[in-house]
Structure 1
Amino acid sequence: MENQSKAMNNLEGINRVLVRKNNGYKEDFSSEKLLKSLILVEVPIREAQNILNKIEDIIFDGIKTKEIKKLLYEYLADFDEELANKYLATTALKVRTSRDKIEPFDLGKIANTLVVETGASQETAFEIATDVWKELKKLNVEYLTAPMIREIVNTKLVEHGLEDLRSKYTRLGIPVYNITSLIENGSRDNANMIHNPESVHKYVADEALKQYALLHMLPGHLADAHMSGDIHIHDLEFFAGRPLNCMQHDIRTFIKYGLKVDGTGDHTSVAGPPNHIETLMNHTGEIMLAAQQNMSGGQGMSLWNVLIAPFARGLSYGDIKQAVQMLVYNLNMAYAARGSQVPFTSMSLEFGVPKFLEDVTAYGPKGQVAGVYGDFENETRLLQRAFTETLLEGDADGKPHLFPNTIYTLRNETLKGDYEEDLLRVHELSAKYGSSYFANLLPKYRGKMANYMGCRTCLQDNWTGDWDEDCLRTGNLAYITMNLPRIGYQSKDESEVFEILDSYIDMAVEALLIRRQQGLNCLNNYNLLPFLNQEVEDDIYYRINNSTLSFGFVGINEMLLALFGKGIDDKDANKFGIKVIEHFNKRANELKDETGYRWSVLQTPAESTAYRFASLDKEKFGDKAILQGSDSANYYTNSSHVPVNSDVSLVEKIKIEEQYHPITAGGHIFHAFMGESYSDPQSLMSLTNKIAKKSDIGFWAYSSALSFCIKCKTLMKGLNNKCPTCGEVDDVEWYDRITGYVQQVGRAKSSSGGWNPGKRQELLDRRRFKNE
C-alpha cells in the first residue's frame, strides 16, 4: 500500500490532458484510474509505474479512451502476455449482452454456453473458446456484441469440422435491412395482412422461427429439399409452436360447458353455458379468436345454424338477424389474431336440418337438452336467411364482408324441396360479391358430412364412419406440397416420374411425422396449446388422432406439358395426371395401414407456393421451365386446375376438374371466374343445379372481380382503373378470390398491395366466363 501511495503522489504534477470517452464527452486524464486497472489484474506496482510513465510521455489532448487502452495492452504484452490478455478481457473488451447489459469479456462463458447449448465436451468447448479469444484480440472495437461473438464461435466450429454443433449454436434473426424494408414497405406474402406495427412484428418473429425450424427441427436433407423447391413445407414459422393447421369446431361443446378462452380459466374470465343468442354469438367469435392463437390455419364451424337453432326459439326474425349481424361484424372487426389480422374463419350453413341430425339430441340455453334438432327446422332456416341477408347488405360503405368464408351445403333434399327462395337469395350473394361457396353432398363418393376449413382443406366422414368423430373437434394437422413440374423436367419416361415422386413423398412423410410429433409435444408435454388441450368429457378438445396429414401438389398442367407437350386440357395427357394423383392416394392408404394415422391428398391452396416454385425453377432450369404469367411475374397452375387463361368452355373445365375431386378428399375447389352476364342470380342458380346434380365437383365458388372506389364508396363489377361515378383513379381498390377467399388485391394503379407478383399476374390472366 505504501508503494502504491508513492506512485500516486508522483503522478499529481502532470499537465492537464482531456481524454475523449466513448460517448463523446471529455474528462481529465486520470493516472489513478489506469493504475487501479493494472493493479486489478495483478500487475506489479513497479511495472505498472513504468507503463504509466510511457503513457504519460505520448498522450495528447483529445486522445480517445480506446487508444489509451490499446497502448496499455501493447506495453503490458511486452512485459507479460498472460497479464496483458487478462487486462484486455476484463477492462478493454466489453460485451453488450442479450440481457441488455454491458459486461466484461469472459472466455469461460463461451465455453459454458457451448457445453450447455450443443453438448460439446469441456475440452472441445475450451479449445473453441480459446481460438475465439485469439480472434477477438485482433479487433479494434469499442464494444463486442453477443451476435458478433457467436458468429466468430460458429466460424471456428466450422473450421474444426463441427458442423453439427454449429447448427445448434447458431443465432437466429433477421438483417437490419430487412426490418427497415418491412417497416417502410410491408410484405406481400399473406394477402390477409395489412401493413401495420403488428404485421411487422409478426414477420420479424416469423423469420426467426422459420430459421429455427429449418436449422433445428428438420434434418438437413428436408431443409434442403424445401429451400431448393422440390417440396414446400408450409407454415415453417409455426412448425415449432403452432404445428396444427386447420380445425373444425363443435359449437355444442361450448353450449354445454361454457367458455374458457385460455383453456383453463386461470388467466381470463370464465363464461358458463350461454343463456341467450347474443351471448352465444359473442362466444362463437371468441372461440374462433382463442383457437387462432393455438393454430396456424383456418377455423371452421359446420352445421352452425342447425346446432344453435334452439337459441332462436321464440325470437322474432329481427332479433335473430340482429344477433347474426353482431357475429359477422365481430369476426370482420376483431383485429386481434396474429400479426393484427382478423381470424381466418369459415361457417358452413345448412338450408334445413339434415336427415341424419333430425333425431339427434339438441342443446339449448344453459346447456340444457332442448329436444332434437328436427324440432328446429324453422329456426335453422331463419338463421341461414339472416346470415345471407347480412352478407348481402355488405358493410356500412357497401364493401363485402370478407369473413367468415360462408359455405352453403347442398343435399338432395335442398334441391328438391321448398328451398328455392333461400337458394335464390344465396345466388344473389354470389352474383353481387362472389363470396359464397357451395359444398356438394350429392356425388356418390360423399357421405353425410364434408366440411371445409378455410381455403379448401376438408374433412369427410370416411375415417371411422362417424360424422361426429371424423369431422368435428379435429382438422388438417399439416400438409406438404410437391413440385410436379420439376418432376416433369427431370424425368425421361413415366417410370422415372414415379421414382422421383416417391422420393418427394418419402420426404413429405418424414416431415409430416416430425410435425405430428411436435403437435403431440405442444399439446401434452409443453402445455403450449391450452385452448386445444382443455378437458371435454374425459378427453381433450382437439382430437389429434383424427386429424389428417396431407400430400399437396402444384402444377399438374405444367408437368404434363413437360412430359407430353400437352396440358391438362388434353384428354390423353390428363389420364396421366389422374394416374399421378391416384399414386398419391395409394401411398396414403398404405401409410394408413402402416402408421394408423389419417393420411389424405389435397389440392394445395398455393397462394405463394405456385409463385415460389415457378421462380425457383426459372432459375434452375431456364428456358426448359414451362411457366405461366409474364417475364417479371411467373407462376404455376394451381394443383390440378385448368390454367386460368385457357380457352376451354366452362362445361369442359368442369368435366376436366371434376375427375380430381373424388381423389382429393383432403380438400379441393373449383373456381368459376364469372363475367358480367352471370350477374343474374337465376342464371347462377341454374348452373348450380347442373353442377350439383350432373358432376362430381365437390366444392366451388363463383368468383367475380370487383372494384371499389374508396373516395365515393361506389362498388363496380370487373377490374376498373377509374371510378365511373367520381372519376377517381388513385383510390380504386380491386377485389377478387385469391385462392379460397375474397380479398383486396391492392390499388388498381399500383403494383403494390396484398398479392404477390405471381398471384397478381394470375388475376390479370383469368378468363371470365360468359353465359353459355
Structure 2
Amino acid sequence: MRDARIIAALPTKAETCVLKNNGIYEKFSHEKIVKSLLMVGAPLWASEKIASQAAAAAYDGISTAEIKMLVYDALCEIKEETADRYLAANKLRVRTSRDKIETFDQTKIEDTLVVETGASRELAYSIASDVWKELKKLNVEYLTAPMIREIVNTKLVEHGLETLRKKYTRLGIPVYNITSLIQNGSRDNANMIHNPETVHKYVADEALKQYALLNLPNELADAHMSGDIHIHDLEFFAGRPLNCMQHDLRLFIRHGLKVDGTGDHTSVAGPPKHMETLMNHAGEIMLAAQQNMSGGQAMSLWNIFVAPFAAGMPYEKVKQAVQMFIFNLNMAYAARGSQVPFTSINLEFSVPKFLQDEPAYGPKGKLVGTYGDFEEETRLLQRAITETLMEGDSDGKPHLFPNTIYTIRKESLKSEMEEDLMRVHELSAKYGSAYFVNMLASYRGNMANYMGCRTALQDNWTGEWEKDCFRTGNLAYVTLNLPRIAYQSRDDTEVFEYLDSYMDMAVKVLNLRRESALNCLNKYNMLPFLHQEFEDEMYYRIENSTMSFGFVGLNEMLLSYLGRGIEDSESHKMGIKILEYINNRTAELKKETGLRWSVLQTPAESTAYRFASLDKEKFKEEAITQGDRGAYYYTNSSHVPVNSDVLLPEKIRLEEKFHPLTPGGHIFHAFMGESYSSPESLMSLTHKMAKKSDIGFWAYSSALSFCIGCKTLMKGLNEQCPTCGERDDVEWYDRITGYVQQVGRAKSSSGGWNKGKMQELKDRRRFEQ
C-alpha cells in the first residue's frame, strides 16, 4: 500500500505512473525518452519511434530501470554503438569515491590507467573496452568505483600486466573486518584500548600496510609475508618511517617550543621561566614528536637538565611539578589511535663527571653556571620522580609512563647514595616498573640512552656523547626468523648462508626505509617537528640514527640445529658465534655505507607469535616452538626460555654474553615471585649485576592484580580479590616484553595481548627471594 508521501506525488489524472529509484512516482514522459536518446546521438525518427514503443509497453508502476532496458533493447536493433552510449549514460550509474553519483564514462577508465600506471593510450583503450563489455552484462542499477576498479584489475591480470595491476589496485579492508574491529577490537597492541580512535587507526593501518607491501620489491614483500623476516611498523613505512628518538631538552629550554615545528598552526611558547612550565613543555615535546614518529620518545639526563629550574624551590613544590609531568603523560590520550604517548626518561643519581663542567641553562634559557653546580637539585628531582611513581595514581594503580630508567654508575653505588638507591628498589619491589642501566659494564663509555623497552644509543658511533645519543634514535629495525634458518640448514655453511641471505633482505628493506625517511623529512615536508631548525641545524640528526637487525628464537634455532637449547654450553657457544657473525656484518656495512648499523634484541610483542605460527604451518612437527596449539611462540631474541628451571645467577651468566653483542638494545628480565619482593634483596642483586656482570639493562618484573571495586593492589595474577571477593573487575598487570602494561582482566584472561603472549605469561617461571 502506497504511503502518504507516494500518494501525494501521484498524477491527478489516470495516467501511467513510473516508480523512480528514490521511491517517488511520476507520470510517464514521452518527451524525456526522446531527449535522452537525442543526447546520445540517436536520430529523431528513431527516438520518437522508440519512445512510442516504450509508452505502449509501459504499465502503471513500471520502474525507470525497466523503461531504460526497453529503450536499450529497441535501440540495439537500430544501432548497437548508440545503444551502448545510451546504456552508459542512463542505465549504468557510478557511485564514486568523491561521494557523487555520475554516469558511466569509459574514457575515465582510460584516463586513470594512463595517469596511474603509465599505460599507453592504446593499451588503456583496449583494457577499458574489455571492462565495458563486462559491465554491460551486469544487471545492476548502480556501479561503485571499487567494483569497476576490481574488474579493471582482473583484465590487467588476464593480459599479464601484473606490474600495472599493482599500481592500479585499490587498498582497503573488508567490511567483515571493520565490523569485527568495531565489535571486538584487536589484540595486536597491548597499549591500545578499544575505542573509536583505535578502530580508525587499525583501518588506516591496514590500507597503509598494503601500500607498503605493494611498493616493496616482490621478493622483500614475500619474505615478510612468508615469515623469513619481519618488517616492523609497515603501516608507517611510507609516511612515518622513523622509529624511536632521544630528545635534547636543553634546546627547548633555550629556544622555546613550537609543537607543530613551525608555529604556523599552534601557539608558540618562548623559553620557560618556571619549573611548572618546563614540566608542561617536557611532556608536550614528546607528545608532539610522537605525531611524527612510529616508536618511543625518550629524554636522557632528564633530572640534570631540569635541575637549574628547581634551584631555590622547596621540595614540596618540586614534587608537585613532577607530579604534574607524570600525570600529564599518563592522561594525554592523544597519540596514535588514542594511545598514551610511549615515553621514557633516563635519570641519574648524581651529575656524572663528563657533565660537571657543561654549561647549564635555566629559566628564560639563560646560562646559569655548569651542571656540576646543581648536584643537590639533580638528586631531589630523582627522589621526586621515584616517590611520585611509588605513590601510584589516585586509585593506587601504577603509573605506566614514562618508562623510568635509572642509570647505575660507580658513584651510584657509594654509601652516600644508598638512601636514593634503596628508594628506587622500593619502587621495584612494589610495582616492578623501574629499569636499570649498567654503566659499569665492560663495553660502556660515558653514555647509554635507552628509549623505552630496550632500543638504545651509546657513544660508540663518533665517540661524542651528544652526537651519538641526542636528537637521533633508532631509524628502523628488521627481525630475522632464526629458527627457520635451522629448519632449512644441514651444516654450519648453510646456516650462515641463510643468515647472509636474510640479512641481505633486511639491508634492502632498511635502505628503502631510510630513503622514505629522507623523503618525508626533506622532500614531502611531512615531519615538521623533526625538521625544525635550532641554530641552523635540523633538529633530527638522521645521519646518526641506527638501522638495526633484530632477531627472534635463538633458543629454538639451537634446539632444532644442535638438539640442545641456549642453556647448553656448546649450544650457547654456537649462539654467540651467530651473534658475532651478525655484528661483523654490521661492521662491514658501516665501512661500506658510512651509516650507523646495529644489532638489537627485538621486543617481539607480536613477532614471536607470528613467526612460530607461520613455521608450525609450514614445517609442521619439524618446527620447535614454545606454547601449545593455537598459542605458539618463540623465545624472545637471545633470552633463556621463560619456563626454564635455571636459577637466577645462571640466567644472568647465560644472557650477559649477548648484551655486548646487541648494542642497539637488550634487556634482562628477572620475573619476581608472587610474594612481596624485599627491596634490600633487590638492591643487593643490583650491586652484584652492576659490578660482576655485563648485563647492560634490566628490570625486576612483578605480576600484579588490581581490584577496581575496592582498590586493592595484589601481587601475582589473582582470579579473585581477597578483600571483597570480586571476580569480574580484577585487572592483571605485568611486563609485556619491555614495559609494564595491563594484561587484561582475570575473568577473560585475555585483554590486549595476543594468544602467544598470553601463553608466555602463563609459562613464566618466577624467582622467589
TM-score (norm 2): 0.98
User: Is 1:47–2:46 an aligned residue pair?
Assistant: yes
The DSSP-based 3-state class of the residue aligned with 1:743 is strand
- In 2, Cα distance between the equivalents of 1:42 and 1:559? 73
RMSD across aligned positions (CA): 1.2
Counterpart in 1 of 2:616? 618
Which of these residues, 551, 558, 561, is aligned with residue 560 of structure 1?
558
CA deviations 1:2-42 (Å, max 9, x no partner) are xxxxxxxxxx9996222222233333222222221112112
Q: Distance in 1 between matches of 2:235 and 2:253?
A: 33
Q: Is the 8 A contact 1:678 1:770 kept in 2?
A: no
2:179 aligned residue = 180
Partner of 2:724: 726
Counterpart-to-counterpart distance in 1, 2:748 and 2:637: 28
Deviation at 1:703, TM superposition (A): 0.4
1:398 maps to what in 2? 396
Please, which moves more after superposition, 26-35 or 276-285? 26-35
What is the CA-CA distance between 1:92 and the residue it aligns to?
A: 1.2
Which residue matches 1:744?
A: 742
Q: Give distance in 2, aligned partners of 1:617 and 1:20.
A: 59
Residue 66 of structure 1, CA deviation: 1.3
Deviations 1:24-80 (A, max 9, x none): 333322222222111211211221222223323332233222122122111111110
Hey, what's the Cα distance between the residues in 1 that align with 2:416 and 2:30?
99
Establish whether residue 505 from structure 1 lines up as the match of residue 507 from structure 2: no
Residue 692 of structure 1 corresponds to 690
Query: Does 1:260 pair with 2:258?
Result: yes
Within 5 Å, which residues of 2 pair with 1:644-723? 644-677=642-675, 679-723=677-721
Match of residue 4 from structure 2: none
2:532 alignment partner in structure 1: 534
Per-residue CA deviation, residues 247-266 of structure 1 (Å, 9 max, x unaligned), is 00000010010000010111
Counterpart residue type for residue 364 of structure 1: G
Work out which of the residue numbers 463, 479, 482 in structure 2 matches 1:481.
Answer: 479
Deviations 1:123-150 (A, max 9, x none): 1111111111111111111111111111
**More deviation, 325-334/65-74:** 65-74
Counterpart selection for 1:326 from 324, 334, 339: 324
Task: Give, in whole Å, the separation in 2 of the partners of 1:579 and 1:460.
Answer: 23
SS in 1 for 2:389: helix
Q: After superposition, give the CA deviation of every residue in 1:672-715 in whole Å (9 maximum; x if it has no partner).
A: 10013561100110111111111100000000000001111111
Amino acid at match of 1:396: S
Residue type of the alignment partner of 2:739? Y
Aligned to 1:20: 19
CA distance in 2, matches of 1:393, 1:726: 22
In 2, the alpha carbon distance for the partners of 1:236 and 1:140 equals 40
Note the 1:351-390 alignment, pairs <5 A: 351-390=349-388
Q: What does residue 8 of structure 2 align with?
A: none
User: After the TM superposition, which residues 603-642 of structure 1 pair with which residues of structure 2 at under 5 Å, given as runs?
Assistant: 603-642=601-640
C-alpha distance after superposition, 1:738-768 (max 9, x if no partner)? 0110000111110441111110110011001
Instruction: Select the residue among 438, 442, 446 that pairs with 2:440.
Output: 442
Q: Deviations over 1:464-519 (max 9, x none)?
A: 00000000000000000000011111111111011011100000000000000110
Q: Secondary structure at the match of 1:166?
A: helix
Q: Of residues 296, 310, 313 in structure 1, which corresponds to 2:311?
A: 313
Q: Counterpart of 2:224 in structure 1: which amino acid?
A: H
Does 2:120 correspond to 1:121?
Answer: yes
Secondary structure of the residue aligned to 1:479 is strand
1:197-251 superposed Cα distances (whole Å, 9 cap, x missing partner): 11110111000100010002x1111000000000000000000010000000000
Q: Could you tell me how far 1:103 is from its partner in structure 2?
A: 0.9
Structure 1 pair 687/677, CA: closer, same or farther in 2 (3 Å)? farther
Pairwise CA distance, 1:353:
0.4
Amino acid at match of 2:624: I
In the TM superposition, what whole-angstrom CA distance separates every residue of 1:133-185 from its partner, at most 9, and x where no partner exists? 11111111111111111111111111111111110111110111111111111
* Structure 2 unaligned regions, length at least 5: 1-10
Separation in 2 of the partners of 1:407 and 1:498?
A: 36
1:678 and 1:684 in contact (8 A); partners too: no
The letter for the 2-side match of 1:604 is T
Aligned letter for 1:577?
G
Residue 422 (structure 2) aligns with: 424
Give the corresponding residue for 2:211: 212
Instruction: State the secondary structure of the residue aligned to 1:423.
Output: helix
2:199 paired residue number: 200
How many residue pairs are counted as aligned between the two chains?
759
In structure 2, how many angstroms separate the alpha carbons of the residues matched to 1:286 and 1:636? 37
Q: Name the aligned partner's letter for residue 365 of structure 1.
A: P
CA offsets per residue over residues 300-341 of structure 1, 9 Å max, x none? 000000011000000000000000000000000000111000
Kept after mapping to 2: 8 A contact 1:430/1:681: yes
TM-score between the two structures when normalised by the length of structure 1: 0.97
1:150: which partner in 2? 149
CA distance in structure 1 between the partners assigned to 2:12 and 2:176 by the alignment: 52
Identity of aligned residues (%): 75
Q: Give the deviation of 1:364 after TM superposition.
A: 0.6
CA distance change for structure 1 residues 417 and 474 in 2, over 3 Å: closer, same or farther?
farther
Matches within 5 A, 1:24-35: 24-35=23-34
- Kindly provide the amino acid, as one letter, of the partner of residue 471 in structure 1: C
> Which residue number in structure 1 is paired with residue 7 of structure 2?
none
1:105 counterpart residue number:
104
